[in-house]
Structure 1
Amino acid sequence: MKAFNTFDAELRRNLLILFTAGLLFWSSMSSLLPTLPLYIDDVGASKQEIGIVMGSFAIGLLLSRPMLGRLADERGRKIVLLIGTIVAAIAPFGYMATKSIGLLILVRIFHGISVAAFTTGYSALVADLAPSETRGEIIGYMTLATPLGLAIGPALGGYLEATSTYGILFLFCAELGFVALLEIVQVINPPVQTQQQTEGNDVYDGLRLPNFWQILGSPRVKVPTIVMLLVGLSIGAVHTFVSLFLKSTDVDFNGGLFFTASAISSFSIRVFAGKASDRFGRGLFITFGIFCYVLALILLWQAHSVMFFLLAAIAEGAGGGTLISMMVTMMADRSMPQERGQVFAICIAGLDMGIAIAAPILGIIAERVGYRDMFGYGAAITSIALVLFLTQSSKNLSNSLRFALGLAPDDYALKNLKLRSEEL
């Protein structure tokens, strides 16, 4: 936490408000992780329909992310944070108002906008504020709001679902979103950095890619986006089906406890991973994160006891605690402030797409082979992401392998490109 002591009072206040809002937001979101599939099951949906409803959340993310990323770059990060918290406060009333599968899909799509907006604004703003030399440490600490929220939310959501009604649960989610909104209102929006402010920097000028498809096609963005898409399949499988898988077994382990254990694991590893990445590079921790997701799915595939489910939760949390925060940090290293919202939006949209594909497709697989073997298929798919990052994360195979194992710097990081241009 030494880096925070070097900041002025206004910056520390901004970061504290952001962290609090993030904690409330993710508590609201995650309280539905173990409970919403059960609610959809109670209204009479099939396994495939449960997957479609849960997966439609990512449709809202995918449709809105490009626009929200550009909005964050052009109008500032605060406006997209406000959009995210407003939607988080409204959407739970939609679940409470209907039991129609079609309408639940629409509400879920609308709810997806909240995560698209909040994560894009939050990541871009924190990356803007963090000095490059301590970027990994600051982002690591600030993203602790996510696992803390993911620890609190499922436990409270599972408790409310078991002891009261779904109506009370949805009201609780809406209230958390509203309080997060009140926090974001207090954020002091920093000035938007424009392209003109970086005129004269030849390295940055050569990398300026304002067009969506140009950014997506750039090697510095394309491979991380595909990796996130493949990992999104495993995340979607776990978040959508693990509670139902537990319900179908004789194992006495609550779905809410699974997500709480996962969040504790995520929190624990983020405490040191971010700072360590400033020293050892982002690649090593991204590789570790993908491997943890593969391991989690293998453990779920073979799970027949509480211990297996607990180990799977720990591995899943370790994967999320390293991969997502380190991927955000790596993309911050690879982008300029005036394009950062779009770069983040595109890369994380890969994750959204994976989650969107996971729920309906793996739901069909689960109908045919069962939940257990479905997780085995997920492990195989996520292994492809690991191979891809090991071989394609840098400019050639040798550099990619070295970067992915923490033995070489990131060839696409702007500071490294600048140093090489000065040497030339």
Structure 2
Amino acid sequence: MSSSQAPDTRRAGVFLGAALAFMITMVGTTLPTPLYPIYQHEFGFSDLMITVIFAAYAVGVISALLITGQWSDQLGRKPLLLAGLFLSAVSDIVFWQADGLGMLLTGRVLSGLSAGIFTGTATVAVMELAPRSWGRSSTLVATAANMVGLGVGPILAGALAVLFAAPLVLPFAIHFALALVAVVCIWRAPETVTRPANIKLRVQTPKIPPEVRSVFIPAAIAAFAGFMVFGFYTAATPAFLGQQMGYTNHALIGCVAGLPFIASTVGQMCQGRLPEPGRLPIGCAVLLVGVLIIAWGIAYEQLLGFILGAIVAGIGQGITFRAGMGAISAASSPQHKAATVSSFFVVAYVAISLPVVGIGLLGIVAGQQITALTFDLIVALLCCVALVLLLKPHRLGRGATRDAGR
């Protein structure tokens, strides 16, 4: 190996290590999904209480995104990432020691804080650590690490719950060990930010620089719709499959809950094959088709529709997510990049969390099926709004469109 190849190989290792740490952290955030029925049986929780537990996660995620969204531009990426891993590991300990509602709420808040810190910061850090030879693939690796981690979490926990004893302990013990591996990966990574002479830490008010707005608005609406689907599958799948369709196998619940995230990764990989000007609208259209299939599955209580809709909607979300992230990142100035990306994720995590709280509350009055169909209709309308904006002539500038595949 030549001397010029060796540094590039080392950098590739660091880059992939950071992506692995990102994925591991996100695995921990969705581990509880297939375990909710067990918690309900163990502690006598109602469906509404499960919604409250999920809301605690939402509070953690959104708080961290708003408070720390631009801190890594000031303090550096590594300190924030190590703090996120610390919170993730502590949440694992809290979960495997949980003996009631208080500890579960605490664990979810801590998990949400780790996700909120990691999401914006790690996305930017992974792209910054990429070797030049990786080019546009760095954005795919960053966004795929996020989605694969979110998808693997419920699949892993569901499989462990079926195959082994102690389903409320083993998943979190395994993730704790993985978090230690992630710490090593981040520790080895070089810092990509030069600290300013005067550090100013402040709560981030979501603010989009003027040069990014034409890209940000339609991409954010599409992201909101896609992440609403993710929120539904993450929070409502156990109750809907178990109580409405009669499927109680934890591995099945975990696989169905993880499907949209895995499909999103497939969509991200495929979007490079699409014509550049059409990536965002095509992604929105595919997402809309997936949402309509989900509505069929809900209305007729068909597991096939629930699964097929998750796959199609996930692919559509992946196309729009990667295209939008690439365009937003390319349009942002270096000093505002992490803050702008964090604003994008604020939109995404508001969508993945808060509407689900509405599902829980409406479900008490209207029933699960009507509530799910109403939720589905709202997502479909958002897809249509995003499509209208994206299909307006010159909505995306040439430069933004050109970089949307990054």
TM-score (norm 1): 0.79
1:83 maps to 83
Report the CA distance between 1:268 and its aligned residue: 2.8
| Equivalent-residue separation in structure 1 for 2:368 and 2:116 (angstroms) | 28
Is this contact kept in 1: 2:29–2:111, CA < 8 A?
Answer: no
2:174 maps to 172
Matched, 1:315 2:316: no
Matched, 1:325 2:314: no
Specify the code of the residue in structure 2 equivalent to 1:392.
L
The Cα offsets for residues 350-383 of structure 1, whole Å up to 9 and x where unpaired, read as 1222233222211012222332222211221112
| Equivalent-residue separation in structure 2 for 1:160 and 1:302 (angstroms) | 31
| Equivalent-residue separation in structure 2 for 1:80 and 1:16 (angstroms) | 18
- The verdict on how the C-alpha distance between 1:180 and 1:278 changes in structure 2, with shifts beyond 3 A counting, is farther
| Equivalent-residue separation in structure 2 for 1:22 and 1:256 (angstroms) | 20
Is this contact kept in 1: 2:280–2:320, CA < 8 A?
Answer: no
CA root-mean-square deviation = 3.5
Matched, 1:215 2:207: yes
Matched, 1:250 2:250: no
- The verdict on how the C-alpha distance between 1:410 and 1:132 changes in structure 2, with shifts beyond 3 A counting, is farther
2:358 maps to 361
1:409 maps to 398
- The verdict on how the C-alpha distance between 1:232 and 1:279 changes in structure 2, with shifts beyond 3 A counting, is closer
Q: State the SS of the aligned residue for 1:143.
A: helix
Gaps of 5+ in 1: 196-209, 416-424
| Equivalent-residue separation in structure 2 for 1:305 and 1:6 (angstroms) | 54
1:301 maps to 298
Between 1:237-246 and 1:12-21, the stretch displaced more is 12-21
Is this contact kept in 1: 2:267–2:316, CA < 8 A?
Answer: no
Specify the code of the residue in structure 2 equivalent to 1:115.
A
| Equivalent-residue separation in structure 2 for 1:18 and 1:172 (angstroms) | 19
Between 1:150-159 and 1:278-287, the stretch displaced more is 278-287
Is this contact kept in 2: 1:84–1:113, CA < 8 A?
Answer: yes
TM-score (norm 2): 0.82
2:144 maps to 144
Report the CA distance between 1:247 and its aligned residue: 0.9
- The verdict on how the C-alpha distance between 1:151 and 1:112 changes in structure 2, with shifts beyond 3 A counting, is closer
2:389 maps to 392
Report the CA distance between 1:293 and its aligned residue: 5.4
1:234 maps to 229
Matched, 1:266 2:264: yes
Report the CA distance between 1:53 and its aligned residue: 0.7
Report the CA distance between 1:120 and its aligned residue: 1.2
Gaps of 5+ in 2: none
- The verdict on how the C-alpha distance between 1:142 and 1:64 changes in structure 2, with shifts beyond 3 A counting, is closer
2:17 maps to 17
Specify the code of the residue in structure 2 equivalent to 1:62.
I
Identical positions, percent: 18
2:186 maps to 184
Report the CA distance between 1:334 and its aligned residue: 2.0
The Cα offsets for residues 177-204 of structure 1, whole Å up to 9 and x where unpaired, read as 2222222111112233879xxxxxxxxx
| Equivalent-residue separation in structure 2 for 1:282 and 1:270 (angstroms) | 10
2:109 maps to 109
Q: State the SS of the aligned residue for 2:69.
A: helix
Matched, 1:53 2:53: yes
Specify the code of the residue in structure 2 equivalent to 1:332.
S
- The verdict on how the C-alpha distance between 1:212 and 1:20 changes in structure 2, with shifts beyond 3 A counting, is closer
Is this contact kept in 2: 1:299–1:308, CA < 8 A?
Answer: yes
